[in-house]
Copies of this chain bind each other. A is one copy, B any other.
Amino acid sequence: MGTESSYTVDSTETSLTILETLIESNDPVGVTAIAESVEVSKSVVHNHLSTLCNQGYVVHRDDQYEPALETLTLGSRTRARLPVYRNGRKQIDTLAAATDRAATLFVLEETNIVPVYIAEPTDGWSPEFFEGEPLPLYTNAPGKAIMASLPPEEVTALLDNISLTEITEATITDREELDLYIENIRDEEIVFSKGEHYNGIVGVAAAIAPSERNRAAAIAVHGRSDRLNGRHLSEDIAGQVLSIANSIRADLT
C-alpha cells in the first residue's frame, strides 16, 4: 500500500486540477479566473482546456468553460462494476422510502469509505457529502461498522496509515479509545453515530462484510438529530437498516 512513486506526469496533474477547479466553481468560468486560481499562465490554461474539451470532459460556450456531463460516465461505469451496487441500489431506495430519511451505500476503498449511492428522502434534509467523495473511516457510523466487520489485523493495518484528526467535538481522536470502541461493537449488528463528522447529524449503519468477490461495504440512514432520535431511531430505523442489510447480503449469494 501507499508506495508513493516519484515519477509522475506534471501536465496531467495540472489538467486534473483545472477540471476540479471548474467543478468546484459552481458557475461557468473563464480562462483568466482559472489561471489565477491554479497559478499558471493563461496560455497554459487555454491549452489544457482545449484538450479537455476535445476529450469531452469540458464544454466551451461564450468564452466560458464548464465541466461536461460526460464526466458522469467515469463514475457511473466504475460503480457499475460493484456487485453490491448493482444488487443493492434498489434496496437503498426502499430503505429511504420506508424511513423517509437519506439512505446511503458506502464501499471501502483504500483507507476511506466512499458513498456510492445516495437515496434522498422525498422531502427534508440530504447529506452534505457527494457520491464519490471519500470520507474517513473513524468519524461516522458506516465507517465504524465496516471496521468492526473486518478481521482485527486488517483494522490495525488501516488505522496505522491514517491520523485521527478532530472534525467535530464528538470525533474520537485517541487511537486506543477507537480500538476499544471497535472491539465493543464487534458483536453488534448496528452502529450509531452522533455528530462525529457533521454537527447535529446522526446516523445508523450496518456493515456488509467483505467476501471473496465483494469489498467491504455498509449501508446507513442519516438525518438531523432533532428529527431522528429516541426509540424511533434505536428501534424503528435501526430495525429497517438491519433488515435491508440482511437482504442485500442474501442477494450477493
User: Chain A residues in contact with chain B, CB under 8 A?
Assistant: 4-5, 7-9, 11-13, 15-16, 19-20, 23-24, 26, 46-48, 50-57, 59, 67-81, 89-90, 93, 107, 109-110, 114, 116, 120, 122, 130-134
Contacts and interface: CB of A to CB of B under 8 A. Distances in A.
A16 B47 contact: no
A47 B23 CA distance: 25
A12 B58 CA distance: 13
A16 B55 contact: yes
A69 B12 contact: no
* Most chain B beta-carbon contacts within 10 A, residue among A8, A11, A78, A80: A78
Please give the count of copies of this chain that the complex contains. 2
Nearest to A3: B60
15 contacts: A4-B54, A5-B54, A12-B48, A13-B54, A23-B73, A23-B78, A67-B74, A68-B78, A68-B109, A70-B134, A71-B75, A72-B74, A73-B130, A74-B74, A90-B120
B77 A23 contact: yes
Nearest to A85: B69
A7 B46 contact: yes
A8 B51 contact: yes
A76 to B, nearest CB: 4
A185 to B, nearest CB: 25
Given A8-B54, A15-B12, A130-B80, A71 B74 contact: yes
Given A46-B7, A74-B74, A76-B131, A114 B52 contact: no
Nearest to A57: B16
A116 to B, nearest CB: 6
A142 B160 CA distance: 51
Contacts of A130: 72-73, 76-77, 80
A129 to B, nearest CB: 10
B131 A51 contact: no
Nearest to A2: B60
